[in-house]
Chains A and B, each alone.
Chain A
Amino acid sequence: MDEIEIRAQLEKHHAVSYGWALNCCSHNNTEAKDVLQQAYLKILQGRALYKGQSSFKTWLFSVIRYTAADERRRNWLRFFGLKKYADKYVGGSESEEHVNLSEKDAVSMAFKKLFTALPARQKEVLHLVFYQDMTLQEASNVMGVSIGSTRTHYERGKQNLRNMMTTSKVNYED
């Protein structure tokens, strides 16, 4: 696959890739952009090679997932060093955001918050199936785990999400 073809494929999957990067970065917009850019550069500079063993989208999602994991590992010290300040900052901005939210937005935001609270694997599989419209087999390829394990994470994730939504005060029925 030459550079022009790779660029075309990346552009084609850019929208879904961004959604996946967001999921891999706990919906942190800035971090997701960084990770996505790093993943693109990694591919364009030949540091990650597509060998045609799976679909381009599945492979691209794996690259993004590994890049996000690398980024997390690289920043863990910095994160712990600045955690108390970061928490303070995020808390402040979040409360400001809630002030002008419509009810519809509030439901959506509450759902996102619940979803973000799920364990990583469950979050990944639910995102890939419901957000990206992937099959469980495709999701297992992206996650690098067996189909059986993927199915278990999928069922548990749905169960956990259901429980959290039931106990929350937000009305999701509308």
Chain B
Amino acid sequence: MKIDMTDEKLKQLFGKMRIEDEVNRPAFEQMVPKSAVVTRRYSPAWRLAAAVALIILVGAGTAIFLVSQPQSGNSPESTYESWSALSNWKAMTDNMLSIAGSKIDGTLTTATDALLEVNSEAVSAGNQRN
């Protein structure tokens, strides 16, 4: 089909479209209620600045709170307590060591002890002869 697409024809078609669109057009008053007063809202730059200020404020508050808190975990008293607990600690075998030491001192003799006694007697006998 050959179409005579002059500008006039296009204008006609767009004109029809405009008339059809008019049917659904809402009233101006409906679009802009009277309560829509002119209020200057904060610009995006102001909003950004406010957000940054808020973050800094919260950060500073948290830092102050943490610094003011007593650090119970690292106090000198707690360190001393943990060290003294370490020095007082005794193993189960410590008692065994002390018992074993006392018995060895009093009772245990070795084979060389008898030889020493023999040698000392011989030395004293030789001295008497001289």
Seen from chain A, the residues whose Cβ lies within 8 Å of a Cβ on chain B are 3, 7, 10-11, 14-15, 18-19, 22, 29, 33, 36-37, 40-41, 44-47, 108, 111-112, 115, 126-127, 130-131, 158, 161-162, 165-166, 169, 171-173
Contacts and interface: CB of A to CB of B under 8 A. Distances in A.
Given A46-B38, A46-B40, A130-B14, A18 B26 contact: yes
Contacts, number: 81
Task: Report whether over half of chain A's contact residues are helix, strand or loop; otherwise say mixed.
Answer: helix
Interface in B20-34: 20-22, 24-26, 28, 31-32
A172 B13 CA distance: 9
* B-side interface size class: 20 to 34
A19 B39 contact: no
A14 B18 contact: no
Chain A CB within 10 Å — which of B9, B17, B18, B38 has the most?
B17
B115 interface: no
Contacts of A37: 31-32
